[in-house]
Structure 1
Amino acid sequence: MLARRDRTNERTSLTDPSANLQNQLIEKRFLVGRQIGKGSFGDVYEAYDNSNGKRVAIKFEDRQSSHSQLKNEYRVYRIINGGIGIPKMICDGSTDDYDYLVMELLGPSLEKLFNHCRRKFSLKTVLMLGEKMIRRVEYMHQMCHLHRDLKPDNFVIDSENGPEIYLIDFGLARRFCHVDENMKVEHVKRMKLQSFTGTARYASISAQQQYTTSRKDDLESLGYILIYFLKTRLPWQHVPKVGSNGMTPKQRKERILEIKMSTNPTELCTGLPHEFQQFISYCRKLDFDETPSYGYLRRLLGGQMERNLYVKDWMYDWRVMDANEKKNKKKPH
């Protein structure tokens, strides 16, 4: 068990050095190592599995959290576990202070790889990534769930730097349909919400307007990610950060939404193959409860692959860079 902190004081954040979890033993099996990630609701650590010698990832969340996302993530994992490109969940549990979720350890996120590639992916890499990413989102939707926070940080590669792309972080995921007592599938209703959920940079227009999200919103977010990879920046990224010139979180979100709404797909995709404009236009025009044609979106990207005579060899830019670096190191000086 993890040591209990003094509850007479305000609880320390998981990111506080005093709350460092390194060298703790979880489930009498997982030895916690270095911290490898942190978010708004919890931290992720690498750990060593004493039962088989493999490395795993453990996500911790403070048990006093008023809105537990880890419990929701565990529930979603139980439904979607086993899908291609979905991390394997190993176990979950609690200590006196934390809830935790143990899962397979994967490689870096697409955001980190984007930085590694000097913040520019080639068209070929984006087209290949797009196909995989569409399939991950489609699988979630087939399981009647929305991700609701798609961004480059939530797509990762496998730990062996292979071609597979994984979708992670399901703390904000929600069902978009329910089965009634007559076994009829009912889609959730569109309504105005009290708050916005997600990441403003990649969120759909409707999500930022604080309406109930549906499948179209996940796909619109995915479209923005692909454009970001090709253009390095989205038009609304120049909005000042919170605190700059007195900018409040609410003002910043409103300004981002304003720019997003005034930027039509043609302007957004200037300089890019027309398929990306078609991608965004299609997603924005879908009805709230309409089933998207994931195949159509994949064909858009696949058609551009064919026109450029690209070979679908899954040699993404970072793999090419790493291969070239290894080759150069072997050359005699």
Structure 2
Amino acid sequence: MSAEDLGAGSSGRLGQEFRTNAIVGNHYRIIKRLGSGSFGDIYMGENLVSNPKMQVAIKIEPTCDKAAQLYNEFKFYRLINEKQGFPNIYWFGQWDKYNVLVMDLLGKNLEDVFEACELKFSLKTIIQLTLQLLDRFEFLHSKSIIYRDVKPENFLLGRAGFPNQNTIHIVDFGLSKEFIDPITGKHISYRTGKSLTGTARYMSINTHQGVEQSRRDDLEALAHLFVYLLRQGKLPWSGLKAPTLKERYRKIGEVKVNTPIDELCAGFPEEYANLLRYSRSLGFYDAPDYETIKAGFVELYNKMNFEDDKYDWE
């Protein structure tokens, strides 16, 4: 969890109960509040027993909150089990009237970095990000997890000056779900009439239409994210006005359906149009062929003969 991806002026739900120097989980001291995430407030803290003292992120939510998500998030981090590209988890438990999750403190989120670069990433950087995120989602799906909330705000760099500073980390699993039942070993069933879960700008067409999400929807949402980066933050369905949120989501889905992929991806490497076509062609139960997808982007990267492997923000 990042210090930079949360507005310091956000209004927290926990009030002022967590003051500087408060101790949670026996040896994690709160330093300052960073802001509010989707399902709780987030603080910078430090591990008092590490040598030297290590800075951490501390995510806190009331145990009485009906929308409590921290245990769900902790469950998925435990399945991931300290894999590169995901924050390490140091402690989870109840403290007073709150659920607390202690994890790595990371760097800026991808949207903030994109804006700092004036919404202009080079093709070199976008291909590198594409390969990193395809790796992450291939791993998540291998663990029977669908993410269901693709957006650049949930993808964080490592902390500046650390060895992992250019590694993309996926955070915030509050909306994630297992698509294989751990008891029966069966894939979840195809359903319709589902409420929208995720971020409308990037979600798949099937999600807009109320279809239960599976691996294909994560991949399509990623493809929409890559096109967003290629088009410098300008998508045909951005900025649509409507009297209600439900109507705006309906309009966004309608524009996605009616925008030809060739038009959406015009002027960019065909690999991105092919990824979007492929993701939309997958069946509900299908596993994406990540090896073939990634091989195409590796070939594209090599063909471009870039002078170095540096990212734009370096």
Same-fold call, TM cutoff 0.5: yes
Cα shift at 1:62: 2.2
Instruction: Name the structure 2 match of 1:237.
Output: 238
Post-superposition Cα deviations, 1:47-100, rounded to whole Å, max 9, x if no partner, equal 121112010001111222212211110111111122221110101112333211
Residues 179 and 29 of structure 1, relative CA distance in 2, 3 Å threshold: closer
Say if 2:262 is the partner of 1:261.
no
Looking at secondary structure, tell me which structure has more helix per residue. 1
Please list every run of 5 or more consecutive structure 1 residues that lacks an aligned counterpart in the other structure.
Answer: 1-12, 241-245, 320-333
Say if 2:45 is the partner of 1:47.
yes
CA distance in 2, matches of 1:35, 1:193: 39
Secondary structure of the residue aligned to 1:237 is coil
Please list every run of 5 or more consecutive structure 2 residues that lacks an aligned counterpart in the other structure.
Answer: 1-9
Q: Residue 38 of structure 2 aligns to which amino acid in structure 1?
A: S
Q: Residue 230 of structure 2 aligns to which amino acid in structure 1?
A: L
Secondary structure of the residue aligned to 2:85 is coil
CA distance in 1, matches of 2:144, 2:307: 33
Instruction: Name the structure 2 match of 1:95.
Output: 95
Which runs of structure 1 show a deviation greater than 4 angstroms over 4 or more consecutive aligned residues?
Answer: none
How many residue pairs align between the two structures? Answer: 298
Q: Is this contact kept in 1: 2:88–2:103, CA < 8 A?
A: yes
1:26 to 19, 24, 37: 24
Q: Is this contact kept in 1: 2:12–2:35, CA < 8 A?
A: no
Instruction: Provide the alpha-carbon RMSD of the alignment.
Output: 1.9
Higher Cα Rg, which structure: 1
Q: Is this contact kept in 2: 1:128–1:312, CA < 8 A?
A: no
CA distance in 1, matches of 2:250, 2:157: 33
Say if 2:191 is the partner of 1:191.
yes
CA distance in 2, matches of 1:75, 1:99: 13
Post-superposition Cα deviations, 1:203-262, rounded to whole Å, max 9, x if no partner, equal 11111212111111001111111111121222111213xxxxx62111111111111111
TM-score, with length taken from structure 1 = 0.85
Secondary structure of the residue aligned to 1:310 is coil
CA distance in 1, matches of 2:199, 2:73: 17
CA distance in 2, matches of 1:130, 1:164: 12
Instruction: Name the structure 1 match of 2:166.
Output: 163
Instruction: Name the structure 2 match of 1:122.
Output: 122
Q: Is this contact kept in 2: 1:124–1:310, CA < 8 A?
A: yes
Cα shift at 1:180: 5.4
Q: Residue 136 of structure 1 aligns to which amino acid in structure 2?
A: R
Residues 80 and 14 of structure 1, relative CA distance in 2, 3 Å threshold: farther
Q: Residue 40 of structure 1 aligns to which amino acid in structure 2?
A: S
Identity %: 35
Q: Residue 40 of structure 2 aligns to which amino acid in structure 1?
A: G
Q: Residue 216 of structure 1 aligns to which amino acid in structure 2?
A: R
Instruction: Name the structure 2 match of 1:175.
Output: 178
Q: Residue 246 of structure 2 aligns to which amino acid in structure 1?
A: K
- The range that moved more, 118-127 or 223-232, is 223-232
Q: Residue 245 of structure 2 aligns to which amino acid in structure 1?
A: P
Residues 188 and 312 of structure 1, relative CA distance in 2, 3 Å threshold: farther
Q: Residue 252 of structure 1 aligns to which amino acid in structure 2?
A: R
Cα shift at 1:312: 6.4
Instruction: Name the structure 1 match of 2:4.
Output: none
Secondary structure of the residue aligned to 1:221 is helix
TM-score, with length taken from structure 2 = 0.89
Q: Is this contact kept in 2: 1:42–1:59, CA < 8 A?
A: yes
2:312 to 298, 314, 317: 317
